[in-house]
Amino acid sequence: GVRLVGSEMCIRDSLYIINSMDKYRIPYLNMIVRKFAERYSLTLQNAFEYLLKFGGMKYLIDFYEIEHTLPIEDTLDELAATCCDAGGSIK
């Protein structure tokens, strides 16, 4: 089988997220979590936990139909703002 890293396992195992996914959303979410981690020098696990805690993952799921068509940098900016509005400290 395929070996998954921490954030991928969290996404796979989260019933809330999995119940609202199709086969294209999980790879997209993994890519965005990786890019968010890179941008803010976080581990994948910490990036995922931050996005989950401050509403970033919910935002990505709720607005997937729009967000996946936009430039990645715009999505990352919106994620940072969404999380900041919810009490996160990354800007």
Radius of gyration of the chain (CA): 12
- The whole-angstrom separation of Cα 28 and Cα 84 is 22
> pTM for this structure?
0.77
pLDDT digits (tens, 9 = 90+) for 45-82: 999 999 999 999 999 989 998 999 999 999 999 999 99
Q: Is the pLDDT of residue 90 over 70?
A: yes
**CA angle 17–84–18, rounded 5-degree value:** 5
